[in-house]
Structures are given as structure tokens and as C-alpha cells.
Amino acid sequence: MAALTKEKKPMQTKNKVLIAAVSLVVVVGIVVGVYFGIHNKNNASNNSASSNKSNNPTAGPTTTSASVPNIPQPSSTPQLPSGQNGTMINGTLFPYYTLTGNAPAPVGVAGQVYTTCTTPNTFSISFDDGPSAYTHELLDLLDKEGLKVTFFVNGNNEGCIYDPAVQSVLKRAFQSGHQIASHTWSHPKLTTLTAEAITTEMTRLEQAFMDVLGVVPRYMRPPFGDGTFGAGNANDIKVQSTIKGLGYVITTWDIATTDADIDDNTTPHKLTDDALLKVEQGMVTSVVKGLSGGTHMQLMHDTYSRTVSLMAPWSINYIKGLGYKMVPVATCLGDVDPRNWYQKIGPPAATTPTTCTK
């Protein structure tokens, strides 16, 4: 019995060693299997994500980690600021008008002088030399009547375009959908200037328009109409060719109320209200002659108190009574898309000067 016991003990030890070795192999195999299983699963996930990304360029990140927020994708349709109307153009809000597609080719021809409208039965009222202290009152009237007009604006004449009060009313006019056009920087007679000086008059105002509004007009009116009267006159040719080279359509008028010639902003007035209105109304009716049809461009100045409070309301009622369609100058010349009222549309300056002294 003792001999038998001695023979079994080595066998038991050998078996234990074998079992331990097998167990080790099994454990190692499990560990290896788990490792490669996880590795393959990660590769499959990465490959799937890569495949989805290549097939779906707009797919966002798949992580839900709070430390890495989802980044919103840019919208194909720019969103307008809350409470504002208009169309986003070149990264800025072009106000009032909702526009789609591309603008049509412009109709008004650069360098050509237009004295009246070309679209039948249209009538444009325009105001020169402002904005002024009276322009807010005029805008109230136009808002009430639902009408759009053209403002031919100076840079530094009746007031400085950079003055905060002037900027405010100019922005209001633009944001209300009125056409803003150029009337030169300082209101000189252009025929007395060199081509270089004419260019400076126009480009200095262009910079101010870009600073305040973010646009450069495509329409202009020479102060006094100077440079548009003499066919073949060398000075007129100089003015018109210079303005053409700057890309501007030139517009004058066929009706002038003569407010700038006979009115004043002092009291007592040289002419009573009745006397003033009799003259100015006669300037309108003598051309229109109480008949609808045809086309007209009427010039007034929003720098005169009685033009705003008396003559503008009378003109609107008179023109409406004849059945005309009252529109901005550019529209009555065929440029009905307001994008064609401007040569350039872009962001206004983040900050602007407050005076015209540089």
C-alpha cells in the first residue's frame, strides 16, 4: 500500500501542472479574443462613420459629450435679424424689400441724362440737398401715404452726412425703402471743376454712403442741373463723361417747384403761405395741365419747412387725383428692382466719423 501511494503522488503533481498550464492558455486566449473583438468593433465603427461622412457631407458630429457641443451648420437661406424686413445681400441686410433670384440687367444707362420718366403714366417726386431737420416730418407723411420717393443727398451742404442726427434720418429713409441717390459732396457747379475734382466730389460721398448705409448709388443729380444743358458744350461733355466713367445714371427734372429760389426758412417769410403755394403749384400745373398720362419728374427740397408741410402734401393729392403711379426716379426709368438703384451693396462701417472735418 505504501509503494502504491508513492507512485500516485508524482502523477498528481504532473496533472496539477498540466491543468494550470491549460487554464493559463484558456485565460490568455480569452483576453486576446476580447482585445481583438473590441479592436475590430472600434475599426468597424470608425469605418462606418467615415463612410457616412463621405456619403453625407452635411452630417454633423456624432458625439453627445457635453464638453463638445454640436456646431450648427450654416443655413442656405440667411436668417434676418428679429423684427427686421429685407434681404441679406453680401453679408448685410438690404432693407425693406424681399428679393429673390438675380437682379435683372439695369435699364438706366450710365452717363445718359434723363429729364423725365420713361415708364408710361409714372410720376416721380424727388427731394434734393437733405437730409435736414424737416426730413423726419416728410418721412412721416410718406409712410402715411404709402409712397416711395428719391432723395438726392449731399455729403456736406445743408448739414454734414456724418452728424449723428443726419445719419439717423438718412438711415430711416433708406430702411423705409426710399431710393437714395447722389447729389455730390458739397453741391458745387460741376462745370466749374476739373474732371479730377468732379471725381473727388462723387467718390468722397460714395465713401460716406458706404460708411453709413453700406451702398453706393447708381443714380445722381448734378447740383443746379449744371453740366446737362448745353448740347456739345465742352464743359457739359466733361461733366457727363466723368460721371459716366463713375457708373452713374444722370437725372434732372421737367418740373421744378422753385422752392429753393423763392422760399426761405426765416420768419417772417418774404412770401406768405398762400403766395408761396400759388407760385409753386402753378409751376406744377403749368406742366401737367390737369391731364393724366405722360410722365414727369418733380424736383423739390426737403430743406424747406413749407415744402414739407404744405407743398409736398398738395403735390401728393394732386398727382394721385390725376391717376398717376408715384414711384422713385429709378423705378420710373424702368429699374424696378431696388438692387439696380445701387452700384455696390455691402456692410456699412462698424463705426463712422461724427463730423465732416478730416
Q: Which residues does the annotation mark as catalytic? A: 128, 301
| Runs of H (alpha helix) within 176-326 | 195-212, 234-245, 259-262, 273-288, 305-306, 312-321
**Taking the CA atoms of the chain, what radius of gyration do you get in angstroms?**
38
Strand partners, 124: 297
Query: Cell 422760399, residue?
Result: 263
- What would you measure as the largest C-alpha separation in the chain, in angstroms? 151
Nearest to 258 by CA among 235, 238, 283: 283
The whole-angstrom separation of Cα 327 and Cα 138 is 16
Helices then strands, each counted (H, E), the chain: 10, 13
Angle at which helix 135-145 crosses helix 312-321, to 10 degrees, equals 20
The whole-angstrom separation of Cα 213 and Cα 153 is 12
Nearest to 60 by CA among 44, 72, 42: 72
The whole-angstrom separation of Cα 50 and Cα 64 is 17
All three cell numbers of 303, joined, read: 430743406
The whole-angstrom separation of Cα 45 and Cα 40 is 9
